Homo-oligomer: A and B are copies of this chain.
């Protein structure tokens, strides 16, 4: 499938640098089950591009939505579910009913998340409008001051 990707694995140091987080954070995420990098036979962690993307996703959920790591774990689990289902999509061993159930479940989780994001977006818009109003008032004050000094 992925043809051009050299699939170079990174050590935890390089991975941390790439992802813009600390090594400790990467180990911590793994400890909480948010991330499961490969290991060498010697037990050293090896990170793929997908792992880095996952870290970026984690950070986004953290800083953008303000979710804590437990909540993020839930979101990631839901996303993993979807991937899992996609993978097993044509696997005959998975019953259609079961698949439907799983899909519905992850759809529900995503919908919930979407609602959260929407709410946050609306609140942000309100805040922005308020801020703009303040700013324009301050600008007016400044204009008046300038007119004053000019008059």
Contacts and interface: CB of A to CB of B under 8 A. Distances in A.
Interface of A: 60, 63-66, 79, 82, 85-86, 89, 96, 99-100, 103-104, 106-107, 110-111, 113-114, 117-118, 120-121, 123-125, 127-128, 131-132, 134-135, 137-139, 141-142, 145-146, 148-149
Contact of A85 (B96, B111, B141): B141
Q: Is the interface of A mostly helix, strand, loop or mixed?
A: helix
The number of times this chain is found in the oligomer is 2
A138 B96 CA distance: 15
A114 B142 contact: no
A123 B60 contact: yes
Given A100-B146, A145-B96, A107 B124 contact: no
Contacts of A113: 131
